[in-house]
Structure 1
Amino acid sequence: MIETAVILAAGMGSRIRERTGYNPKGFLQLDEIPLIEHSISKMLTAGIKKIFIGTGFMKEAYEKLAYKYEQIQCVYNPDFETTGSMYTLYRLKDVINEDFLLVESDLIYERSALSILMNHGYKDVILSSKLTDSGDEVLIEIDEKHHLVNMSKAKADLMNISGELVGITKLSYSTFQKICSHIELLPNFHKMDYENGIVAIADQIPFYVHQENDLVWCEVDDEGHWTRAVQFIYPLIKARENVLKSINRTILLNPGPATTTDTVKYAQVVEDICPREEEFGRVMEFISNELTEFVGNLEEYTTVLFGGSGTAAVESILSSVIDDQAILIINNGAYGKRMCKIADVYGLEFFEYASPVDEAIDLSSLEQFINNVPTKLSHLAVVHCETSTGLLNNLEAVGELCQKYKLSMIVDAMSSFAAIPIDMNKMNISYLAASSNKNLQGMAGVSFVIADKAQLEKTKQYKQRNVYLNLFTQYHYFKLTNQMQFTPPVQTLYALKQAILETKWEGIQSRYKRYTKSWETLIEGVSRLGLKHLVDKNSHSRIITSIIEPSQPTYDFNEMHDYFYRNGFTIYPGKVNTLQTFRIANIGDISYLDIERFIRLLERYLEWLREGNKHETI
């Protein structure tokens, strides 16, 4: 069992000196605790009994820690200004006599990073993560056995890139001694970084590279790193490490709300706060800005928050941004039809373009329809992913038509936002509606509109058709105060903030890749069982699937729903008037393994149905 750790802390931190002043960067504080003390606390909790700190710049700060913690011993590198981290480590060769963890002093990381290495079967292990794209990364090349080949900050130095160096490594005593003996023979070894010392003997000693893609961590080398740490990484780590206990997990295969992480659920457990306080205003400002940056830039676009379901955001747009001209609404599913209903209720002049619910939009036909509209059109509205079927409409192509005919495009992105990459500028989107509880994997209760600022400002003089959902007044009030006009759903917004952090950590493209694997598992499974899905693969969103119901006369959806519910799954009825279907959504905090389990349960149910055991409860 590893009981010793080494912290490399001799660096001058010159790239962040304006913030640190004359303190080492390891003394930057999070929650009024220095980074290095966060690390020390994690080490002691993990069972580390002895901590060596290789010091240099402002060694006195670390020596004070040695008075505070009896487990700490400082070893000074007097040449810290002209030497690299390998030389600081080298100076510890006469005081270390056992295996140890090697940790950089400017890291913020989950405590699991230590236990992974301390309990690892290999004696020399380098901890690696997915690529963070945070800047100044050390990239790793491995062989087919997961052994280290090379590490470098320059991609050109590597034949392949498997991951990124975290900055926490397990070294055996014998390997450490071999590193020291080897580098003594190299010219200018005192200028090397420690990772170069490891690479120098990687052809002699196998260093196992352990890849941990879900590990949350960062280093702090510059102001950008610090901002990322404060706003993103540290809150995410705190949430993950402060989960009191796991909550019973239900697999929601309905198209939202989706299965959420425990950290999103627990994010709602906060001290009471008046939503008019500046502190809560900053929470909403963070949410608004981050949602905007998923699909556009803050200079051109803004996010307007509402308490309400996704339909509230759609209704806000339709009732607020159309003045005295007409709108064309594409209807190829229940949610296109809903937009028509909203337009009708508000007395808008609208033209409905009906398109098949299971086929891609015929763009030539749509263009002809636009040309044949007898009045002046100002807007076009379309659902990106039609939640009733899973059909994915081609936003880029529709956006090109809007640009050609000078139409402002309104997009219901309820079932695509935060899963399918969207670029509002490239796709010519003026207004986009979405909500907190689908691919963002937050709780239900918050909807939002992401709007082109220039176009939104033009609506200032439009006749106001409602109060709560008026888009411009909500936007203007938030712009002035960082507040909603009316009482917001406080706890749901805290959960949304956490969900945003987790979305950023996973990445939208990676999330869609995970969803896609689940969808492929679903399609393969239902096809094997003889069931058919409605939408062709080429036009499918890979998010929600409408499945034709079994043909057995004894089939009953409610009975099937209850069977799955008893087994921890929730499924959803269909929403296509002309066909009997049920829907399965593969969104939320689930994986293809959950879908495999669903398929096994479905197979069991279909067998029971075919056998006609209606007198027995399955």
Structure 2
Amino acid sequence: MVKTAVILAAGMGERIRERTGDHPKGFLLLDGKPLIEHSILKLLDAGIESIIIGTGYEKEAYEELAVKYPEIECVYNADYETTGSMYTLYKLKDVIKEDFLLLESDLIYEKEALNIVISHPCENVILASKFTNSGDEVYIEADDNQYLINMSKDKQVLNHVSSELVGITKLANATFHKLCSYLEKTVKDFHKMHYEEALVSIAKEIAIFVQQESNIVWCEVDMEEHWQRAINFIYPLIKEKENVVQKVNRKILLNPGPATTTDTVKYAQIVEDICPREEAFSDVMEFVADALTAFVANLEDYTTVLFSGSGTAAVESILSSVIRDDALLIINNGAYGERMCKIASAYGLKFYNFISPADQAINLRLLETFIQNSKLKISHIAVVHCETSTGLLNDIESLGQLCEKHHLSLIVDAMSAFAAIPIDMKEMNISYLAASSNKNLQGMAGVSFVVANKEQVESLKNARRRNVYLNLYNQYAHFKATKQMQFTPPVQTLYALKQAIIETKWETIEGRYERYSKSWETLIEGITRLGMKHLVDRKNHSKIITSIIEPSHPNYNFYEMHDFFYERGITIYPGKVDKQKTFRVANIGNISSIDMEKFIDLLEEFLNELKEPNESEKI
């Protein structure tokens, strides 16, 4: 096991000098402690016994740190102003005696990153991540077996970009000394090289494995933008991940929400007791509201109104608050379009129930003709983006264009699409959007919200109130004035939602949908191999929730199948389609294609166990 770590800390940090002043950037403070000290403590906790720091600029700061930690040995590169990081590493060749971890001094990372590299079976390993889009990235090109080919900050010089360099590497002592010898003999100006270039120079001769970890949280700090990202996003996320004291028994929820959550989201609910009227909690709600808005719209023109309740509460709030004397047209192509009709009916609203097939795209020509020929004046169209009963994805962009053409406002129930399928409310001409905390956001159930155009919400000020708890304008105005909900909010659920939002930002909506899509492809390939069919065809499918046609075997019973899976840690859901026997499988939440492979394997086992009916059962 590796017992030595090397930290490269000679750089001058000129791009962030306004913040660091006369200190090296490794001494920027997080929670009152320098970045490099956070790293040192994690290294020691991971079993590292010797830490060698290659110093240069303001070396005295590191030498003082070595007094505090006897495990540290500092080696000075007097030529730090004119040399690269490889030369600092080269200067350590006489003190490095064994395999070691190589790190940079300006890294912020979770401790799991060290565990992955230390325990890796390969002796030379580069830790890589998904693309952070943080600026100043080093991109990696690896071969099909994940061995290093090239690295560069310029994507154009790489044939294929596979991942991004984290800055934590494991090198065998023999590899390091071969590297030094190679550079001495073949590279005239190697003292100006960075260590990444040097590793590439020997990659053809010595195998260096690239270990890509998509969920590792980390960042480096080279400039002010990096620092702001670190303190506002990365470091809080790392703290949450590292505060998980015990793994929770994991269940694979393939129902369409609530979804499987991370342990960090679960543990985010464990907070000290707080009155929700305190300013500290108001700040939590403001963070949540602004972040939810930013996922789908700009903060200048749009706002988010939070409610306690399921997603239906947000839908009911919109319909009961927004529709006045004119008619609402509800596109009904599933159970949740039908639910909007029930809400409209309960409030006595004028509305049209535009019925569209549950497994087909909306006929926009027919819809437009209906609008043009309607006897009542229509002011709003309401539609479900991803119909949760089938997985049908309705074309809200085209509907937005149709609404613009006919001067209508578009209401979207985005419950099963929000935070997975990219949405731009302004570009899509959406006035009101409803969603909840417990589906693609991967939070806990209990918070619903409306993202709305500010001007349109303000226009509701003098509208007749049909209810109290769910009145959209009242909730909006109260939050705007006080940063509070009108009525008691679900405190712990909102803390969990804040954490879920941070994790969504880290993965990105595009990255999350890519992961979901991979799970969906695994599902479709699996059920097709087993001779089963799904209701909605590929071109109209959300790749979020799938309505699967039930087996025709006489011994089949959904509830027996449900129990079979439940006993094995997987939850599936009954169908919700009239005139068609189906069950539903969702591929949302903190699951992967590996989980879906497990589901397919168990489904095959269940189908194989269906026995032929007894003679008495035969007709």
TM-score (norm 1): 0.95
Q: What displacement does 1:359 show?
A: 1.3
Going from structure 1 to structure 2, the CA distance change for 1:448 and 1:63 (only over 3 Å counts) comes to same
Aligned letter for 1:606?
L
Q: What displacement does 1:138 show?
A: 0.7
Q: Which residue of 1 aligns with 2:100?
A: 100
Q: Which residue of 1 aligns with 2:390?
A: 389
**Paired residues of 2:89 and 2:195 also in contact (CA < 8 A):** yes
Task: Answer yes or no: is 1:335 the counterpart of 2:336.
Answer: yes
Q: Which residue of 2 aligns with 1:352?
A: 353
Secondary structure of 1:260's aligned partner: coil
Going from structure 1 to structure 2, the CA distance change for 1:474 and 1:247 (only over 3 Å counts) comes to same
Q: Which residue of 2 aligns with 1:177?
A: 177
Q: What displacement does 1:387 show?
A: 0.8
Between the aligned partners of 2:93 and 2:605, the Cα distance in structure 1 is 63
Cα deviation, 1:444-498, whole Å, max 9, x if unaligned, reads 0011111122222222232222222122222222223322222111111111112
Q: Which residue of 2 aligns with 1:363?
A: 364
Q: Which residue of 2 aligns with 1:200?
A: 201
Q: What displacement does 1:553 show?
A: 4.5
Q: Which residue of 2 aligns with 1:417?
A: 418
Going from structure 1 to structure 2, the CA distance change for 1:104 and 1:231 (only over 3 Å counts) comes to same
Does 190-199 or 296-305 show the bigger shift?
190-199
Aligned letter for 2:521?
E
Q: Which residue of 1 aligns with 2:52?
A: 52
Q: What displacement does 1:348 show?
A: 1.9
Going from structure 1 to structure 2, the CA distance change for 1:520 and 1:175 (only over 3 Å counts) comes to closer
Cα deviation, 1:186-205, whole Å, max 9, x if unaligned, reads 44433322222223333443
Task: Answer yes or no: is 1:452 the counterpart of 2:453.
Answer: yes
Q: What displacement does 1:40 show?
A: 0.3
Q: Which residue of 2 aligns with 1:89?
A: 89
Going from structure 1 to structure 2, the CA distance change for 1:149 and 1:605 (only over 3 Å counts) comes to closer
**Paired residues of 1:20 and 1:28 also in contact (CA < 8 A):** yes
Q: What displacement does 1:594 show?
A: 2.5
Aligned letter for 1:395?
I
Going from structure 1 to structure 2, the CA distance change for 1:141 and 1:555 (only over 3 Å counts) comes to closer
**Paired residues of 1:289 and 1:298 also in contact (CA < 8 A):** yes
Task: Answer yes or no: is 1:248 the counterpart of 2:249.
Answer: yes
TM-score (norm 2): 0.94
Q: What displacement does 1:277 show?
A: 1.8
**Paired residues of 2:259 and 2:590 also in contact (CA < 8 A):** yes
Q: What displacement does 1:602 show?
A: 2.9
* Structure 2 counterparts to residues 430-441 of structure 1, below 5 A: 430-441=431-442
* Structure 2 counterparts to residues 62-461 of structure 1, below 5 A: 62-184=62-184, 186-461=187-462
Give the count of matched residue pairs. Answer: 615
**Paired residues of 1:127 and 1:211 also in contact (CA < 8 A):** yes
Cα deviation, 1:412-469, whole Å, max 9, x if unaligned, reads 0101111112121221111111101111111100111111222222222322222221
Going from structure 1 to structure 2, the CA distance change for 1:122 and 1:519 (only over 3 Å counts) comes to closer
Going from structure 1 to structure 2, the CA distance change for 1:523 and 1:26 (only over 3 Å counts) comes to same
Between the aligned partners of 1:429 and 1:610, the Cα distance in structure 2 is 52
Q: Following superposition, which runs of at least 4 residues in structure 1 exceed 6 angstroms of deviation? A: none
Aligned letter for 1:454?
E
Aligned letter for 2:299?
L
Between the aligned partners of 2:614 and 2:270, the Cα distance in structure 1 is 46
**Paired residues of 1:552 and 1:610 also in contact (CA < 8 A):** no
Going from structure 1 to structure 2, the CA distance change for 1:406 and 1:606 (only over 3 Å counts) comes to same
Secondary structure of 1:426's aligned partner: coil
Going from structure 1 to structure 2, the CA distance change for 1:217 and 1:69 (only over 3 Å counts) comes to same
Between the aligned partners of 1:539 and 1:452, the Cα distance in structure 2 is 28
Going from structure 1 to structure 2, the CA distance change for 1:601 and 1:159 (only over 3 Å counts) comes to closer
**Paired residues of 2:479 and 2:485 also in contact (CA < 8 A):** yes
Between the aligned partners of 2:21 and 2:430, the Cα distance in structure 1 is 46
Secondary structure of 2:461's aligned partner: helix
Structure 2: gaps of 5 or more residues = none
Secondary structure of 1:459's aligned partner: coil
Q: Which residue of 1 aligns with 2:528?
A: 527
Aligned letter for 1:2?
V
Does 543-552 or 407-416 show the bigger shift?
543-552
Aligned letter for 1:138?
V
Aligned CA RMSD, in angstroms, stands at 2.1
Going from structure 1 to structure 2, the CA distance change for 1:318 and 1:228 (only over 3 Å counts) comes to same
Does 61-70 or 247-256 show the bigger shift?
247-256
**Paired residues of 2:86 and 2:198 also in contact (CA < 8 A):** yes
Q: What displacement does 1:252 show?
A: 1.6
Secondary structure of 2:459's aligned partner: helix
Once the two structures are aligned, what percentage of the paired residues are identical? 69
Going from structure 1 to structure 2, the CA distance change for 1:72 and 1:306 (only over 3 Å counts) comes to same
* Structure 2 counterparts to residues 472-551 of structure 1, below 5 A: 472-551=473-552
Q: Which residue of 2 aligns with 1:558?
A: 559
Cα deviation, 1:209-263, whole Å, max 9, x if unaligned, reads 2222222111111222122212222222222222222222222221111111222
